[in-house]
Every structure is written in C-alpha cells, then in structure tokens.
A and B are shown apart, each in its own frame.
Chain A
Amino acid sequence: DTAVSQTPKYLVTQMGNDKSIKCEQNLGHDTMYWYKQDSKKFLKIMFSYNNKELIINETVPNRFSPKSPDKAHLNLHINSLELGDSAVYFCASSQGPVAPEEQYFGPGTRLTVT
C-alpha cells in the first residue's frame, strides 16, 4: 500500500506546453506539500496546503498552480513550461502544519522540458 503516490513518474514535454502532476496520500494527513529538487539535488518547498487551503506559497512563478480537491489530493499544474522547470517534483504529506511531525514523501515525478 503506497502511502504517498504521484503520477506520472516521468514526464517529457516540450517548451510552452501545459502539464499536470497528481499526488494522492492515503495516510489521513491534513497537510500536503510540493517540493522541487533541481539537478544538483537541492530541495526547496513550493507550496503547502492544509485541509485544502493554501498555507505556504514560496516565490514560485505563477505558471505553477496547485489545486487540492480534497485533503487526500494535491495536484500541480504548470503552464507554459520552460527549460528551467526541468527537475524532480516531490509531493509530501504530514499530519498537520503545526506539530513537528515528519513528512512522508512520494516517489517523485521527473519532469524533462525539451
């Protein structure tokens, strides 16, 4: 039983296209996150949602739009893809945003923009 799952695992697309990445968690957690890992393996938070409400929005281009239809799902839509968007995108979840609970990560989506 996968705790945090992401689809697709790999995504290859051309510049200018629009694409979405989906994330689902079956842990009953209230909080979900999107992280970006660049080619140097550096990890940075992009967004955080708690009970479907946006609580963290880092300085991410507005071409990136997260959507949380319910607290078990957090999707990431990217418009007008650019070469610099190539990275591995990780979804994560935790019980809540306040308590110091560990975050559970999905397997990642490797996005390649050509």
Chain B
Amino acid sequence: AQSVAQPEDQVNVAEGNPLTVKCTYSVSGNPYLFWYVQYPNRGLQFLLKYITGDNLVKGSYGFEAEFNKSQTSFHLKKPSALVSDSALYFCAVRDRSNQGGKLIFGQGTELSVKP
C-alpha cells in the first residue's frame, strides 16, 4: 500500500536558523513527490515537486527539498527560517502509474518559527 509519513507532528525553530521538515514514503516504482503548505484557514499552496533529475529541488519562498531514493525520503529544507514560515506543511506522493492524479498526503507537520 502506498503511504507517506511525516514523523514529526511539530517542528520548532528559531528565526534565522535552518529548518528541516521530514518526509518518507512507500510507493512502488518511482513516484512524483510534492510539498504543500497550509496557512491557518486557507487552502493548500504548492511549494515544490520532484519529477526526475537533480535530487535537490528548489521551490517557492526559498524552500528546497532533497530526494533520496535509497532512504525513500523527501525532506523539506530552508537555510534561514522566517516567522512567516510558520504553517502546516504536507508532503504528498503520486504514483507515476496513477492515471487519475491522486495525491496521497502525509499527516502534516506544524512548523513554528519563533523570533
């Protein structure tokens, strides 16, 4: 069965420090991988995706993610956190063979950046 795990419910970071939000997945074959962010009372916003090629993917707002096939991970990173980055972050995976566009989401990680 396909699944996505975000092992940390909450990540706390001081402003200016680097941040990492972890994601591991279990999908047969080579999946497409995504990160989305959800601000309070808002819909999800796309941050970045991995399709193929370079394992380091750069996205919106200075975020990047590293695809690691051997560890089946796709961790989200940012070199210097901002208070405005505080939000709920979702990792999602899509099976390449899936013809319907179905995304499977992790349970979300609440990121809190303190001044």
Contacts and interface: CB of A to CB of B under 8 A. Distances in A.
Interface of A: 4, 31, 33, 40-45, 48, 50, 55-56, 90, 92, 94, 96-98, 100, 102-108
B101 A105 contact: no
Interface in B45-64: 45-46, 49, 51
Contacts of A48: 100-102
A56 B100 contact: yes
B23 interface: no
Most buried by B among A40, A97, A103, A107: A103
A43 B42 contact: no
Contacts of A100: 32, 49, 51, 94, 96
B102 A108 contact: no
A98 B99 contact: yes
Given A41-B108, A42-B108, A100-B51, A105 B102 contact: no
Given A97-B100, A108-B42, 16 more contacts: A33-B101, A40-B107, A42-B105, A42-B108, A45-B103, A48-B102, A92-B43, A94-B101, A97-B99, A97-B101, A98-B101, A100-B32, A103-B103, A105-B45, A107-B41, A107-B42
A41 B88 contact: yes
Given A41-B88, A100-B49, A31 B101 contact: yes
Nearest to A101: B101
Contacts of A50: 100-101
A23 to B, nearest CB: 11
In the complex, the 10 A-B pairs of residues with the closest C-beta atoms, listed nearest first:
A105-B43, A56-B100, A102-B46, A97-B101, A100-B32, A43-B105, A105-B44, A55-B100, A107-B43, A41-B108
A4 to B, nearest CB: 7
B108 to A, nearest CB: 5
A55 B102 CA distance: 10
A103 B100 contact: no
Given A102-B34, A107-B43, A44 B105 contact: yes
Contacts of B36: 105
B49 A45 contact: no
